[in-house]
């Protein structure tokens, strides 16, 4: 009975995803590209060699970390659109700590740097949480606005105080920080590729989030506050407090993603380092049903999409930005599938329509229909 | 589409069957209703009443069976089709836009008022006046919905449905949100309207069925189990048919044995959502081992009183002494820990987290206790064991304790809440509308649970608008009116009439005056 329901829900979601794919196909047709060719490139191109696979995973690491944080916040009833800014704050803090303490041995410095990133992201997210808990400021507005503020702070610091002195000397003026000390650079997992040990960190984080949400009383409280704020309040759970806690976690994971990006991939703070992971992470979390077990494959899938979109730019001459269209349509598909599953009348109407499609002759041959 | 005024003389359903995955919602149902007739459709929650009505309104299509109007087969694809043949429905939850006027609400659904670039609001108002005069349903077309009381909104729904051309009305539990006075008023009005109309009246309040309907059909598990003339059958007989077994709601046998004062409320002042003083120097005393009924027309401060007792609403002034300790303005957690239990008004959102499993909801207040957690990790095995045990003890009907609680019926959700609150071993229990909208079987169970707890020495505050319930269960009955306790009388002295008069805020004179109808407020004056 329960299995049937899961299967039915799964079918509906797949059905809506197919409709989404068709919609994107229309967009592709309208710019004169071949949808089949494009989909083929996006989905199979990145996985055709080892390098492609490692690049997919490089993208999946920040997506996974951000997605985990988003899942915690959504589960707790607060919607975090601010991961983009939280990533940037994480990058700044981790870079600053690493550059300020270059002489420290790796065993102290690396954890310190990662923690600094997480802490900065947590504080940035916590602002929105606190505003919501204390002053009922809508967190969607505040997190989006905090993104802009973070972006400006980030740009200012990279062009001013944190600008690499070499850039000034050479006069090229590329807005980037100094290279981080070797002590904090993450090791490579596969020689000759960019895949770094951040992947292991992210996977461990996924397990920890699962334990946090479903095995501890803190997770129980946060989920209760999110799934039924009123009932939680009646049961003596101070819901507002857990909104802040959830945003601290969400921002913390985004900040950690920033720290891992800078220590694992770029090795210095550069402009555009967050590259949309903060927004894509929302899609990853929703597509993964806000559960770590779903978010891991979901992050990998979106890694494929990101790399695949780059490839189509080269091979099928479809702009890589098409992946944003794809993301948007996927969100629409998921959200509409969910509300469809909640609406028995719509389901009934679809069923009728589907029955209408089957020719009467065919139906009578089947016979068993009541 | 123009409103069809062709009189509907007969609606006939034959062999209606509707299957949902895993459920047979309607099983070969045949019914008919004629003009000038009220058919009561009675059944417990989940018996298939709502599905059947949705089939009539064209929201669902039956798997087999036919619908015919005036002897002619019809196939409705949407509610509009049903309206075109003169069939309209008033839903249990009102379909009105609160920040629009009555006339604007009607205009939403009436296409003939929509002209090119112009909406004929005056036409809507004219139509409303015409209908409300004809059917004696006083309604002011220019009033905003949010200004109206629930009873007035109910009238607006009726007028709206009539304006849309319906001459066969389907009323889905129309009295579930009404006060006793509003209920009496509505039934009286409906009785006067029947000569021109046909009415299908869905309810599980059998005294209303008895008062209004000519014929009654009882649904159980999707099938019609009984058809008959209402006049020939007693409510108790109908109740037995509805539930499939004899139902006797338990009564408080009142040994008169009352314990020591447990909860003393003094001069309690609490503000409502709009900032006005809703509780104004309320005094009340609850003793151990008694059920104290709080009767009153809803909106007289019951909700705020219950909130203040649970620590969910700030107390402006006054004290709530519980075993000698002042609990006013303490946090919900402190109040829970002091030994107060609470069955909240809105069980779906306040009593449970709907998406949580039954077992998770059963520990909603105690997840942090040593029984259910260790070093802030949940003890899953203990939680499972606890759930299985309470499921047995409280007869919670669910496929498993991992089922989402929100998918259970109202009665079973209430049992989950009651199980949680009682298993904690509280010293006092506040139950707000504990059986509202719950079927008879579950009601019987909940009532006997409350009385059992009373016998164990727990003090129970029962806030309810069902006079029957209050009178059956209470030792003493306090009548609340405009944020004050108007009078407290021993249950043995309470009669329906006397309570009705007190609830209307009229001074009580013993002995109670007759006739009872004196308690009815003038029509349309229910809102102050």
For residue B346, name the pLDDT band (cuts at 50, 70, 90). Answer: confident
Is the Cβ pair B332, A232 closer than 8 Å? no
Is the Cβ pair A234, B360 closer than 8 Å? no
Is the Cβ pair A235, B332 closer than 8 Å? yes
Nearest Cβ partner for B355 among A2, A221, A227: A227
Q: Tell me the CA distances in angstroms from A85 to A72, A126, B122, B328, one per residue in order.
A: 17, 12, 53, 43
Q: Tell me the CA distances in angstroms from B308 to A239, B312, B332, B421, one per residue in order.
A: 18, 6, 10, 18
Asked if A365 has any chain B CB less than 8 Å from its own CB, the reply is no
pLDDT of residue B110: 81
Lowest average pLDDT, out of A37-46, A85-94, A356-365, B49-58, goes to A356-365
Q: Cα dihedral sign for B121, B123, B125, B127?
A: negative
Q: Which residue of B has its CA nearest to A369?
A: B63
Is the Cβ pair A231, B378 closer than 8 Å? no
pLDDT digit string, tens, across residues B403-417: 889 888 788 899 999
Mean pLDDT value across chain A: 88
Q: Which residue has the higher pLDDT, B182 or A98?
A: A98
Q: Is the pLDDT of residue B263 over 50?
A: yes
Q: How far apart are CA B353 and CA B327, in angstroms?
A: 26
Interface test with A, best of B309, B341, B364 (most A CBs within 10 A): B364
What does B447-515 look like in DSSP terms, one character per residue? HHHHHHHHHTT-EEEEEES-HHHHHHH-SEEEEEETTEEEEEEEGGG--HHHHHHHHTTPPP-SSPPS-
Q: How far apart are CA A61 and CA A196, in angstroms?
A: 9
Nearest Cβ partner for A231 among B310, B335, B349: B349
Asked if A9 has any chain B CB less than 8 Å from its own CB, the reply is no
pLDDT digit string, tens, across residues B369-396: 889 998 889 999 999 999 999 999 998 8
pLDDT of residue B409: 79
Reported ipTM: the value is: 0.82
Q: Is the pLDDT of residue A144 over 90?
A: yes
Is the Cβ pair A234, B344 closer than 8 Å? yes
Is the Cβ pair B336, A231 closer than 8 Å? no
From chain B, the residues in CB contact with A221 under 8 A are: 367
pLDDT of residue B527: 42
Q: Which residue of B has its CA nearest to A236?
A: B333
Q: How far apart are CA B410 and CA A83, in angstroms?
A: 40
Is the Cβ pair A228, B354 closer than 8 Å? yes
From chain B, the residues in CB contact with A231 under 8 A are: 349-353, 364
From chain B, the residues in CB contact with A345 under 8 A are: 54, 59-60
pLDDT digit string, tens, across residues B420-454: 999 999 999 999 989 887 877 888 899 999 999 99
pTM of the complete model: 0.80
Asked if B134 has any chain A CB less than 8 Å from its own CB, the reply is no
Q: Which residue has the higher pLDDT, A54 or B173?
A: A54
Q: Which residue of A has its CA nearest to B348?
A: A231
Asked if A370 has any chain B CB less than 8 Å from its own CB, the reply is yes
Q: Is the pLDDT of residue A271 over 50?
A: yes
pLDDT digit string, tens, across residues B110-147: 877 777 778 888 888 998 999 888 888 888 899 898 88
Q: Is the pLDDT of residue A71 over 70?
A: yes
What does A306-369 look like in DSSP terms, one character per residue? HHHHHHHHHHT---TTHHHHHHHHHHHHHHHHHHHHH-HHHHHHHHHHHHHHS-HHHHHHH---
Q: Which residue has the higher pLDDT, A328 or B218?
A: B218
For residue A208, name the pLDDT band (cuts at 50, 70, 90). Answer: very high
pLDDT of residue B255: 63
Asked if B208 has any chain A CB less than 8 Å from its own CB, the reply is no
pLDDT digit string, tens, across residues A86-128: 999 999 999 999 999 988 899 999 999 999 999 999 999 999 9
pLDDT of residue B30: 92
Is the Cβ pair A234, B342 closer than 8 Å? yes
Question: What is the Cα B290 distance to its own chain's centre?
Answer: 25
pLDDT of residue B509: 57
pLDDT of residue B91: 86
Per DSSP bridges, beta strands B10-20 and B23-34 are antiparallel
For residue B98, name the pLDDT band (cuts at 50, 70, 90). Answer: confident
Reduced to 3 states, what is the DSSP secondary structure of residue B112?
Answer: helix
pLDDT of residue A162: 87
From chain B, the residues in CB contact with A220 under 8 A are: 360, 367, 378
Asked if B81 has any chain A CB less than 8 Å from its own CB, the reply is no
CA proximity to A53, closest of A184, A192, A258 = A192
**Counting beta carbons within 10 angstroms of the beta carbon of residue A317, is it exposed (0 to 12), middle (13 to 18) or buried (19 or more)?**
exposed
Q: Which residue has the higher pLDDT, B247 or B88?
A: B88
Q: Is the pLDDT of residue A369 over 50?
A: no
For residue B505, name the pLDDT band (cuts at 50, 70, 90). Answer: confident
Q: Which residue of B has its CA nearest to A237?
A: B333
**Counting beta carbons within 10 angstroms of the beta carbon of residue B447, is it exposed (0 to 12), middle (13 to 18) or buried (19 or more)?**
buried
Count Cβ atoms below 10 Å from residue B372 Cβ, excluding itself: 18
pLDDT of residue B495: 86
pLDDT of residue A2: 59
pLDDT digit string, tens, across residues B236-260: 888 888 877 777 788 887 765 668 8
From chain A, the residues in CB contact with B350 under 8 A are: 230-231, 234
Asked if A239 has any chain B CB less than 8 Å from its own CB, the reply is no
Q: Which residue of A has its CA nearest to B310?
A: A234
When pLDDT is averaged across residues B473-494 and rounded to a whole number, the result is 90
- The phi, psi pair for A270, rounded to 5°, reads -125, 165
Which two tokens mark B506? Answer: 């009229």
Is the Cβ pair A370, B353 closer than 8 Å? no
Interface of B with A in 45-64 (CB under 8 A): 54, 59-61, 63-64
Mean pLDDT value across chain B: 86
pLDDT of residue A32: 83
pLDDT digit string, tens, across residues A227-258: 999 999 999 999 999 999 999 999 999 999 99
Lowest average pLDDT, out of A350-364, B49-63, B322-336, goes to A350-364
Alpha carbon of A220: minimum distance to chain B alpha carbons (Å)? 8
When pLDDT is averaged across residues A339-357 and rounded to a whole number, the result is 78
Asked if B378 has any chain A CB less than 8 Å from its own CB, the reply is yes
Q: Is the pLDDT of residue B522 over 60?
A: no
What does A130-197 look like in DSSP terms, one character per residue? HHHHHH---HHHHHHHHHHHHHHHHHHHHHTTTS-HHHHHHT----B-PPPPGGGPPPBSSTTS--BT
Asked if A352 has any chain B CB less than 8 Å from its own CB, the reply is yes
pLDDT of residue B333: 93
Asked if B325 has any chain A CB less than 8 Å from its own CB, the reply is no
Is the Cβ pair A216, B377 closer than 8 Å? yes
Is the Cβ pair A231, B350 closer than 8 Å? yes
- Cβ–Cβ < 8 Å for B413, B405: yes
Interface of A with B in 198-237 (CB under 8 A): 215-218, 220-221, 223-224, 227-228, 230-237
Is the Cβ pair A236, B336 closer than 8 Å? yes
């Amino acid at each position: 009975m329960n299995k049937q329901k899961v299967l039915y829900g799964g079918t509906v979601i797949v059905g809506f995803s197919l409709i989404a794919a068709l919609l994107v196909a229309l967009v592709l047709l309208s710019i004169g590209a071949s949808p089949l060719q494009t989909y083929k490139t996006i989905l199979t191109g990145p996985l055709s060699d080892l390098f492609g696979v490692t690049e997919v995973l490089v993208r999946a690491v920040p997506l996974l970390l951000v997605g985990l944080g988003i899942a915690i916040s959504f589960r707790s009833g607060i919607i975090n659109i601010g991961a983009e800014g939280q990533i940037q704050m994480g990058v700044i803090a981790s870079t600053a700590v690493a550059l300020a303490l270059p002489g420290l041995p790796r065993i102290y410095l690396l954890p310190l740097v990662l923690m600094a990133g997480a802490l900065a992201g947590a504080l940035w997210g916590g602002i929105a949480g606190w505003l919501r808990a204390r002053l009922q400021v809508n967190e969607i507005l505040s997190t989006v606005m905090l993104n802009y503020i973070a972006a400006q702070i980030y740009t200012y610091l990279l062009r001013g105080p944190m600008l690499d002195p070499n850039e000034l000397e050479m006069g090229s003026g590329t807005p980037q920080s100094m290279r981080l000390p070797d002590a904090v650079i993450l090791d490579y997992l596969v020689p000759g590729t960019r895949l770094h040990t951040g992947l292991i960190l992210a996977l461990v984080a996924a397990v920890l989030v699962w334990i946090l949400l479903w095995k501890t009383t803190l997770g129980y409280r946060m989920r209760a506050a999110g799934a039924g704020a009123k009932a939680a309040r009646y049961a003596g759970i101070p819901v507002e407090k857990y909104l802040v806690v959830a945003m601290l976690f969400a921002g913390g994971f985004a900040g950690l993603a920033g720290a891992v990006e800078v220590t694992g991939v770029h090795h210095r703070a550069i402009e555009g380092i967050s590259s949309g992971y903060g927004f894509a992470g929302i899609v990853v979390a929703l597509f993964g049903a806000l559960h770590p077990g779903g978010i891991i494959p979901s992050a990998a899938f979106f890694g494929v999409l990101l790399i695949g979109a780059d490839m189509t730019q080269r091979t099928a001459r479809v702009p890589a930005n098409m992946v944003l269209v794809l993301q948007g349509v996927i969100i629409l598909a998921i959200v509409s599938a969910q509300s469809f599953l909640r609406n028995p009348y719509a389901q009934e109407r679809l069923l009728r329509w589907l029955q209408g499609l089957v020719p009467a002759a065919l139906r009578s041959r089947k016979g068993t229909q009541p | 589409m123009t409103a069809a005024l062709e009189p509907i003389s007969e609606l006939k359903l034959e062999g209606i069957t509707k299957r949902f995955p895993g459920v047979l919602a309607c099983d070969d149902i045949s019914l008919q209703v004629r003009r000038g007739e009220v058919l009561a459709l009675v059944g417990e929650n989940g018996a298939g009443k709502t599905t059947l009505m949705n089939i009539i309104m064209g929201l669902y299509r039956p798997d087999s069976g036919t619908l015919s109007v005036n002897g002619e087969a019809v196939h409705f694809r949407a509610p509009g089709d049903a309206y075109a043949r003169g069939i309209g429905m008033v839903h249990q939850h009102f379909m009105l836009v609160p920040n629009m006027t009555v006339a604007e609400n009607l205009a939403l659904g009436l296409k003939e008022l929509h002209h090119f670039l112009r909406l004929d609001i005056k036409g809507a108002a004219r139509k409303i006046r015409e209908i409300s005069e004809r059917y004696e349903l006083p309604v002011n077309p220019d009033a905003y919905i949010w200004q109206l009381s629930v009873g007035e909104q109910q009238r607006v729904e009726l007028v709206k449905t009539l304006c849309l051309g319906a001459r066969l009305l389907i009323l889905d539990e129309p009295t579930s949100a009404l006060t006793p006075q509003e209920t009496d008023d509505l039934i009286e009005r409906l009785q006067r309207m029947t000569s021109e109309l046909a009415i299908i009246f869905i309810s599980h309040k059998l005294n209303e069925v008895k008062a209004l309907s000519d014929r009654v059909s009882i649904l159980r598990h999707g099938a019609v189990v009984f058809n008959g003339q209402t006049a020939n059958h007693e409510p108790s007989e109908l109740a037995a048919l509805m539930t499939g077994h004899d139902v006797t709601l338990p009564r408080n046998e009142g040994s008169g044995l009352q314990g020591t004062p447990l909860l003393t409320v003094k001069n309690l002042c609490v503000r409502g959502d709009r900032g006005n003083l809703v509780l104004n120097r309320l005094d009340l005393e609850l003793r151990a081992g008694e059920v104290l009924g709080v009767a009153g027309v809803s909106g007289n401060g019951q909700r705020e009183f219950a909130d203040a007792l649970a620590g969910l609403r700030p107390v402006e002034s006054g004290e709530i002494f519980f075993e000698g300790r002042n609990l006013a303005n303490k946090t919900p957690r402190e109040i829970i820990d002091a030994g107060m239990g609470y069955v909240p008004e809105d069980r779906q959102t306040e009593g449970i987290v709907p998406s949580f499993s039954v077992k998770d909801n059963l520990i909603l207040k105690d997840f942090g206790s040593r029984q259910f957690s260790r070093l802030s990790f949940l003890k899953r095995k203990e939680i499972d064991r606890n759930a299985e045990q309470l499921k047995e003890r409280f007869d919670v009907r669910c496929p498993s304790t991992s089922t989402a609680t929100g998918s259970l019926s109202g009665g079973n959700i209430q049992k989950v809440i009651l199980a949680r609150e009682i298993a904690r071993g509280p010293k006092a229990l506040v139950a707000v509308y504990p059986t509202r909208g719950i079927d008879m079987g579950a009601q019987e169970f909940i009532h006997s649970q409350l009385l059992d707890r009373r016998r164990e020495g727990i003090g129970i505050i029962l806030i309810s608008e069902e006079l029957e319930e209050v009178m059956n269960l209470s030792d003493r009955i306090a009548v609340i009116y405009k944020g004050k306790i108007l009078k407290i009388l021993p249950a043995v002295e309470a009669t329906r009439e006397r309570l009705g008069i007190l609830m209307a805020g009229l001074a009580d004179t013993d002995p109670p005056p007759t006739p009872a109808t004196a308690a009815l407020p003038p029509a349309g004056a229910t809102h102050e």
